[in-house]
Amino acid sequence: MTEKILIIDDDLDTLRLVGLMLQRQGYQISAATNGTQGLAKAFEERPNLILLDVMMPDMDGYEVARRLRKNPTTAQTPILMFTAKTQLDDKVTGFEVGADDYLTKPTHPSELQAHVKALLARSVQKENIVTASHEHNGYLIGVLASRGGLGVSSVAANLGASLFARTQADVILAELTPGQGTLGMDLGLPHQKALTELLQGTPAEVTRERIASCLAPHNSGLKLLLASENPRDVTLISQVQNYEVLVSRLASLGRFIILDLGIGLPHFVQRLLPMCNERIVVIEGAPNTIEQSKLLIDEIVNLGVDRKGITVVLNNRVRSETQMPWTQAQDKLGHTITTTLTPAPELFLQAARMQTPAVVCQPTNITSQQFLKIADLILEREKAR
């Protein structure tokens, strides 16, 4: 892939001459004529190297470098200071604010090319080391339902807690429904803004480091990325690219990543489901829900997902004679029901009071044991992949 170099300089002659020279060497060139524009391009385009002038009218190169280093998106991007300032103190200041190298104007083209090549080579070396340390991809599990009120978030949280109980590994629970968050209040962590902020920026700003800093630890052992409760944030479901980058980064941060996808198939869910290793559809034993769930499963298959990669969980949340038996529900659904969850309203009430998943509250309860069995099935599939 062609390396991109961003040149930030208010001198148009320098931009033209240096840009043309580097283009002839096979690099892709982007240019900015002031610090503010340069920062915006750096965060959006994520260049492989930044060639930065010091003396600019709106914001000098030192301040630009400071801001580049504070932002996770550009914290590791090589910076070559390129300036007419020749004093030793100026060079020292450049290195102190985060520059990797320093050249004074005018410089011979071959000297500039040598410095650029050396910086890019060191950057690739460093990137390979980081990639090797993060090469493991976690097991992605998407949880969704055809309609609200079926317990998607509850199933996601208890499944995550069950996987942690079985493995003691890093398990991430990501509630990806902005404006409709419930887990924060249920688990004692209300008013979460991390997901909102990740979706509001550009895809380039959704870095692994930033996501890791957004994960909230919980006493259940889970690491949580929670949706806000503010209804206004629901518009962020249109940020499909951010979602794709977010989920791909999450996959490098844990062994299991549980995605609470909410209800239906908005565009972002359609893009995320094929990325998952497993999809769990939550249903209830009511005729209308069965019909809607059947349509949901068919549409998931139409996205290119293997029907065998869809797990159905029958969640009987209340004791009622109106709930049909799982055998009848399975026949009407036309899809295997993997597990039936026994109604346990008292257990979930106690869990809500303790602000923890039910399986943590009473691990020996029959419903908790059913969640643990789902976790065991997933562990088998993870080993087989």
pLDDT tens readout for residues 291-348: 999 999 999 999 989 999 999 999 987 766 667 888 999 999 999 999 999 989 899 9
Quick: pLDDT tens for 302-313.
998 999 999 999
Token output for 321: 């004679």
160 with 128, same domain: the answer is no
> Could you say which of 113, 133, 153 is where a domain stops?
133
Q: Tell me: do 267 and 302 sit in the same domain.
A: yes
What domain range is 360 assigned to? 139-384
What is d(CA 355, CA 352) in angstroms, rounded to the nearest whole number? 5
CB 157 within 8 A of CB 357: yes
Verify that 313 and 192 share a domain, yes or no: yes
Closest listed residue to residue 94, CA positions, set 127, 117, 61? 61
Residues 101 and 145 in one domain: no
CATH code of the domain containing 56: 3.40.50.2300
Looking at the structure of the chain, the number of domains it has is 2
State the helix-helix crossing angle for 326-333 and 287-302, rounded to 10 degrees: 40
Choose the final residue of a domain: 133, 153, 186: 133
Q: Which CA distances in Å does 100 have to 10, 116, 207?
A: 21, 11, 21
pTM above 0.85, yes or no: no
Same domain, 262 and 290: yes
Q: Of 114, 133, 152, which residue is a domain's last?
A: 133
CB atoms inside a 10 Å sphere around CB 348: 19
CA distance 236 to 267: 12
Token pair for 19: 């840009």
pLDDT tier at 251, thresholds 50, 70, 90 = very high
pLDDT tens digit string along 359-374? 999 999 999 999 999 9
Same domain, 156 and 125: no
CATH of the domain at 187: 3.40.50.300
| Terminal Cα distance for the chain, rounded | 30
Contact 83, 54 (CB under 8 A): yes
Residues 147, 120, single domain; the answer is: no
User: Is the peptide bond preceding residue 231 cis, with omega within 30 degrees of 0?
Assistant: no
- 370 and 244 part of one domain: yes
